[in-house]
Amino acid sequence: MTAPPPVTEPVIVGADAGACTQDALALAHWAARTLGTTLIVAVVHPAPSALGSGRVDAEWIADRRAAAERVLATARETLGDPPDVEYRVVASSSAAHGLHDLAEQRKAALLVVGSTASAPVSRLLPGSTADRLLAGSVCPVAVAPSGMAEPPGTAGRIGVAYVDTPDGRAALESAARLARRTGSPLLLVTVVARGDAALPFMLGADAERAFLDTARETYEEALRKAAEAVPGVTVEWELRSGDVVETLAELTEVDVLFCGSRGYGPARRVLLGGVSARLLRRARRPLVVVPRA
């Protein structure tokens, strides 16, 4: 099999003084090594205000920049100062805005952030910066769960929350690119909600069974076709039943889980829908939200 072409776009990770930065650094470093590309560690500090108060404002900005440099020094120490890592201090009106701008300027392959400090261990709970990043990023955004129980590469499979929609296909395409580099198989999972959660109101028992049977057949056919359409990768697929978010959140047998944003919104930007937004607060494994094609 022909080796995948080199990735020239960098992986960018947002760092701050919070404990969850270590999780983000670990995930971003793994992603950059896997893709064979540069890692950029970025810390955002406040930009001078247009209505600043002279010396006092300037002193405060200088203090915040010094704090950002200390965060970078800690990140350098955490990573062991490997080659192919850049360290950037970015001045902006907000952390999310600064990371957005940097990702656009550098045409990032992936933007990585940590979970919030209040997240339970091994669960995702994105803070305000991650929430804002996920509301319009031009590249896939990965969120590392708090205190990742196992580093990526342990389970040996890459998961895709698959539905046959433009955003679902975008997630599959992005996951397949990573799988070709790691040699890992893909696991495509579609979840059918149980009982009346998936059914029109007042169908009746017979019609209910017929509806569910038809839905399962449709989803299975979509999964089969998707698996056959991915060249150069071993693809497994499963149709599961249950609560969609909880079932996907418990996919601990994958290294990382890819999902789409949703089927509408600005092209090539992340714009969270109901499942992806709730999954970010429940998933046990790193989650990558992919902009729709």
Q: Which domains does the chain show, CATH number per domain?
A: 1-149 (3.40.50.620), 150-293 (3.40.50.620)
Q: Are 185 and 233 in contact (CB under 8 A)?
A: yes
Q: What is the pLDDT of residue 150?
A: 62
Other beta carbons within 10 Å of 265:
17
* Beta-sheet pairing, 85-92 with 39-46: parallel
Q: Against a cut of 0.85, is the pTM above it?
A: no
Residues 6+ apart with CB under 8 A from 28: 11, 12, 13, 39, 41, 110, 112, 142
Question: Which amino acid appears at position 237 of this protein?
Answer: W
293 residues of the chain, pLDDT tens digit each: 566 676 789 999 999 888 788 889 999 999 999 999 999 999 998 877 655 555 557 787 888 889 999 999 999 999 998 988 999 999 988 888 899 899 999 999 999 988 765 444 443 434 556 667 666 677 899 988 877 756 677 668 999 999 888 888 999 999 999 999 889 999 999 988 765 444 455 455 555 566 666 778 888 999 999 999 999 999 999 998 888 888 888 888 899 999 887 643 333 333 344 566 677 777 788 999 888 66
Instruction: Name the token pair of 193.
Output: 């909600």
Residue 88 region by backbone torsions, left for phi larger than 0, else alpha for psi between -120 and 50, else beta: beta
Helix (H, G, I), strand (E, B) or coil at 74: helix
Long-range contacts from 72-80, C-beta under 8 angstroms, 24+ separation: 72/15, 72/41, 72/43, 74/17, 75/15, 75/21, 75/25, 75/41, 75/43, 76/41, 78/22, 78/25, 79/25, 79/29, 79/41
Q: Burial of 183 by CB count in 10 Å (0-12 exposed, 13-18 middle, 19+ buried)?
A: exposed
**For residue 257, what are the CA distances in angstroms to 127, 161, 162, 279?**
19, 7, 10, 10
Q: What is the pLDDT of residue 214?
A: 74
Q: What is the pLDDT of residue 94?
A: 83
Q: Where do we find the tokens 């920049």?
A: 65
Task: Tell me how far apart the alpha carbons of residues 59 and 130 are, in angstroms, rounded to a whole number.
Answer: 28
Instruction: Name the token pair of 282.
Output: 């429940």
